[in-house]
Chain A
Amino acid sequence: DADVTQTPRNRITKTGKRIMLECSQTKGHDRMYWYRQDPGLGLRLIYYSFDVKDINKGEISDGYSVSRQAQAKFSLSLESAIPNQTALYFCATSDPTGFTDTQYFGPGTRLTVL
């Protein structure tokens, strides 16, 4: 079984709809992250959480919100989806040891906003 899972894997929605992307992990890591990937731009950080009570904005948080329901669960919400939020979304986890803080990614959610 995958250590980091994301649901749904694919989603098509309409402009103005509210949508939630969910991430679960069995790695026991405290740190969790949400990224989006756009062609030609690499991965950009949306939000991150270092524990259940800690939520931080990333590089591109406008239009998004998150909820850390438990150590293992971190959800990303689009309150009112717009077409330029069409992208590939990745959840990641990490447990910093040493100094590299290697991140482990889920398989991604492909979101299309019409």
Chain B
Amino acid sequence: DQQVKQNSPSLSVQEGRISILNCDYTNSMFDYFLWYKKYPAEGPTFLISISSIKDKNEDGRFTVFLNKSAKHLSLHIVPSQPGDSAVYFCAAIGSGNTGKLIFGQGTTLQVKP
């Protein structure tokens, strides 16, 4: 039972354009959502997060949007750069700060020069 789903295994965009990565979840009790980025041969690194009481969080070129009624969040990267090419994981954390992250399957982003 996949509580966090990333239905697009891969995405390819042109440098300078917007990249939109999507994530759906089923558990309405999640308190926080996070995005991690992973390069080959490295561990995932934290990118950006959003509280369930917010609908948008922005950090430089990265913006995460949360639609609680649709149980959907998205990560926007604009403008996209070749160095953004990586696997992006959406993750959720339940109430009570249990530390237990639940990850989606990941989406591989390729930004073409």
- A residues near B (Cβ < 8 Å) are 4, 31, 33, 35, 40-45, 48, 50, 58, 90, 92, 94, 96, 99-108
Contacting A99 at CB < 8 Å: which of B32, B45, B89?
Answer: B32
Task: Give how many A-B residue pairs fall within 8 Å (CB-CB).
Answer: 63
- Residue pair B105, A102 in contact (C-beta under 8 Å): no
- Residue pair A100, B43 in contact (C-beta under 8 Å): no
- Residue pair A42, B103 in contact (C-beta under 8 Å): yes
| 19 interchain pairs, CB-CB under 8 A | A42-B6, A42-B89, A43-B44, A43-B89, A43-B101, A43-B103, A45-B101, A48-B100, A50-B99, A96-B97, A99-B32, A99-B51, A100-B32, A100-B34, A102-B34, A104-B46, A105-B44, A106-B43, A108-B41
With a cutoff of 8 Å between Cβ atoms, the chain B residues found around residue A103 in the complex are: 46, 99, 101
Q: Contacts A99-B31, A102-B49 hold; do A107 and B43 have CB atoms under 8 A apart?
A: yes
* A45 to B91 CA separation, bound complex (whole angstroms): 12
- Residue pair B43, A108 in contact (C-beta under 8 Å): yes
Number of interface residues of B (CB under 8 A): 26
Interface string of B49-66 (1 = CB under 8 A from A): 101000000000000000
Interface of A is mostly: strand
With most chain A CB atoms within 10 A of its CB, the pick from B93, B97, B101, B106 is: B101
